[in-house]
């Protein structure tokens, strides 16, 4: 998911977050002086302090300020802001609603088994959200700012999909900020699909071990969902993960894409 630069409107996959005003900008406008930052006075104040400029006590401002240049929580395995937790909760609700709406057109008989439907909807929601969290955790471990955000357009499309036979699930995405080269971007991008591939293999093993049981059906659904999520996101086109992965490492892309394709084909044959 790309973010528009607030200054020029350019689409950025790895935007820079201004530590003063909190806006997102492209590389050309990342500095406060290049995007008419409304908090530019704080930049000037910090620079004056750095070179030892003294302000007479009678003129000293009464306010206090703190500037944090590095991502909050850097060095931890994973961190969440209160804003992000709210967006994640909204994302979970939207995706869960999609999960419960799936039988509406495909298999209405499932509404007679609400416990089974709840398990399938939860599996679907977990598979989608773990993909986004994998991006987030990988980016944070590499020192980048990364938080999940609901997007207005994505939320509206997802809401409409609840009553539509065609399901488009994209309530939001992990927004990432900070300097990153192709390797960092590639590793962050492949983390989501790779997590789904690992989950698909786990569901396949569980389905095989519990063949014939009610849980076997849920595990098959998990195999199917995670395989498709990984395969779709690894398509090397546009803003999808595959485009960024193939730019970084063609071997890594080929391995993950072929793995997700094989799992998707297997899921079809096991239907």
Domain boundaries, the chain: 3-59, 68-180, 181-271
**Helix H or strand E segment including 146:** strand 145-150
Residue 64 binned pLDDT confidence (cut-offs 50, 70, 90): very low
Chain centre to alpha carbon of residue 187: 13
Cβ neighbours, 10 Å, residue 55: 11
Q: Are 46 and 67 in contact (CB under 8 A)?
A: yes
Q: For domain 3-59, give the CATH number.
A: 4.10.1110.10
Least confident of 61-70, 83-92, 149-158, 176-185: 61-70
pLDDT in tens, 250-266: 999 999 999 999 999 99
Please tell me whether the overall predicted TM-score, pTM, comes out greater than 0.85 for this model: no
Active site residues: 132
pLDDT in tens, 32-51: 777 777 766 565 555 544 44
The angle subtended at Cα 245 by Cα 167 and Cα 261, nearest 5°, is 55
**What letters, b where the CB count within 10 A reaches 16 and e where it falls short, cover 222-257?**
bbbbbbbbbbebbeeeeeebbbbbbebbeebbeebb
pLDDT value at residue 96: 93
């Amino acid at each position: 998911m790309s973010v528009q630069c607030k200054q020029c409107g350019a689409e950025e996959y790895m935007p820079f977050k201004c530590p003063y005003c909190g806006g997102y900008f492209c590389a050309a406008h990342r500095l406060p002086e290049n995007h008419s930052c409304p908090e530019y006075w704080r930049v000037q104040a910090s620079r004056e302090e750095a070179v030892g400029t003294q302000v007479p006590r009678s003129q000293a401002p009464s306010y206090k300020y703190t500037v944090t240049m590095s991502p909050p929580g850097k060095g931890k395995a994973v961190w969440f802001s209160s804003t992000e937790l709210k967006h994640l909760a909204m994302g979970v609700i939207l995706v869960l609603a999609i999960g419960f709406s799936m039988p509406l057109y495909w298999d209405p008989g499932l509404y007679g088994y609400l416990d089974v439907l709840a398990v399938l909807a939860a599996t679907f929601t977990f598979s989608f959200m773990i993909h986004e969290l994998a991006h987030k955790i990988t980016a944070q471990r590499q020192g980048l700012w990364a938080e999940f955000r609901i997007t207005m357009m994505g939320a509206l499309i997802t809401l409409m999909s609840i009553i539509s036979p065609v399901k488009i699930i994209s309530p939001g995405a992990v927004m990432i900020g900070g300097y990153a080269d192709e390797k960092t971007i590639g590793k962050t991008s492949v983390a989501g699909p790779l997590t789904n591939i690992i989950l698909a293999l786990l569901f396949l093993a569980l389905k095989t071990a519990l063949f014939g049981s009610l849980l076997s059906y849920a595990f098959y659904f998990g195999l199917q969902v995670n395989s498709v999520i990984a395969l779709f996101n690894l398509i090397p086109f546009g803003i999808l993960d595959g485009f960024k992965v193939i730019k970084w490492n063609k071997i890594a892309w080929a391995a993950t894409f072929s793995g997700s394709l094989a799992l998707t084909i297997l899921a079809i044959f096991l239907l």
